[in-house]
């Protein structure tokens, strides 16, 4: 299947998604589930960005608020204080780098895009801030919307669905309609692995990730070092790279076009292996 939408416009740069790409995670929070506190210092953050870009990351996703289960809500001022200096630093140090801001606040989106970010990544899909969709339309940037049942402080209490794949798909269809009516051009979908889902829900979504391709929009898989791996393997996030790599291959085979990861080098290698498998498949079909 060929996607209708194979490129997204990131501040004048066309990013080609006909081949999967890697989004490197830059957490600026003290309490993220895996690397909390490691990159709160600007110099350390820029060193990590340099490493991720060198390993092949196409996008750097900068986040100033933890969204792990039970995470507390911080103020807009505190979020901006964490994110703005780093976005500005990345753009100054690495001209041409494509930066995504991981936020659900329209004003944070506006100010960070003004500072040089060119993608908005919203875990609430506009449910937290009713001004977000209009802001994204006005900013004219690609918008990644994620499905989440509940909010980070409650999402893992007792997640329940009749049919998780169907409900997530219907959620996206409704939101896509709203965004299109406002003129948003570039939309990407994140099914929200680990956000208001049990382990079984996560694997059901992964097994049916191809279903979301009917929207003709690129799919982002955010699986890296998450509890859906750790709980099955009985490991901590620090020892979940092998499981992450295994599930990344499944996500690619199911149609994911972006891998949002902590470990860029390993994800790039998975994509190279997937491309080889696809090339052989195409050869065998002719």
pTM: 0.93
Q: Look at residue 14 and tell me whether its pLDDT is greater than 80.
A: yes
- Cα gap 249→267, rounded to integer Å: 9
Query: To the nearest whole percent, how much of the chain has pLDDT over 90?
Result: 83
CA 281, chain centre distance (Å)? 28
Query: To the nearest whole percent, how much of the chain has pLDDT over 70?
Result: 92
Q: What is the pLDDT confidence band of residue 3, given thresholds at 50, 70 and 90?
A: very low
Whether 226 sits among the annotated catalytic residues: the reply is: yes
Closest CA to 100 of 114, 87, 81, 85: 87
In the chain the domains, ranked by start, together with CATH numbers, are: 7-285 (3.20.20.20)
Of 5, 226, 257, 272, the catalytic one is 226
pLDDT tens digits for range 268-279: 999 999 999 999
DSSP 10-60: ETTEEEE-SS-EEEEEEE--SS-TTTTTTT-SHHHHHHHHHHHHHHT-SEE
- Cα gap 212→193, rounded to integer Å: 14
| Partners of 146 in beta bridges | 190
Q: Number of C-alpha atoms within 13 angstroms, CB side, residue 75?
A: 3
Token output for 249:
């291959």
Of 68, 82, 110, 260, the catalytic one is 260
pLDDT at 72 (0 to 100): 75
Closest CA to 126 of 141, 151, 105: 105
pLDDT at 246 (0 to 100): 98
Whether 131 sits among the annotated catalytic residues: the reply is: no
């Amino acid at each position: 299947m060929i996607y209708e939408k194979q490129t997204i416009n990131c501040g004048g740069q066309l990013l080609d998604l006909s081949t999967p790409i890697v989004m490197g995670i830059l957490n600026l929070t003290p309490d993220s589930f895996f690397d909390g506190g490691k990159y709160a210092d600007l110099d350390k953050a820029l060193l990590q960005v340099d490493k991720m870009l060198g390993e092949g990351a196409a996008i750097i996703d900068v986040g100033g608020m933890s969204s792990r289960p039970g995470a507390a809500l911080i103020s807009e001022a505190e979020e901006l204080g964490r994110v703005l200096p780093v976005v500005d630093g990345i753009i100054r140090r690495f001209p041409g780098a494509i930066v995504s801001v991981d936020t659900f606040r329209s004003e944070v989106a506006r100010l960070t895009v003004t500072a040089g970010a060119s993608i908005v990544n919203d875990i609430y899909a506009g449910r937290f801030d009713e001004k977000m969709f209009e802001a994204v339309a006005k900013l004219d940037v690609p918008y990644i919307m994620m499905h989440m049942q509940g909010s980070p402080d409650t999402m893992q209490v007792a997640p329940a669905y009749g049919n998780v794949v169907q409900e997530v798909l219907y959620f996206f269809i409704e939101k896509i309609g709203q965004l299109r009516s406002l003129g948003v051009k570039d939309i990407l979908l994140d099914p929200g692995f680990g956000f208001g889902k049990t382990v079984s829900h996560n694997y059901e979504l992964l097994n049916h990730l191809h279903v979301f391709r009917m929207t003709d929009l690129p799919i982002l898989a955010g699986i890296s070092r998450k509890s859906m791996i750790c709980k099955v393997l009985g490991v901590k996030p620090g020892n979940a790279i092998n499981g992450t790599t295994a599930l990344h291959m499944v996500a690619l085979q199911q149609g994911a076009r972006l891998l949002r990861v902590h470990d860029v080098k390993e994800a790039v290698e998975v994509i190279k292996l997937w491309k080889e498998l696809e090339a052989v498949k195409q050869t065998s079909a002719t």
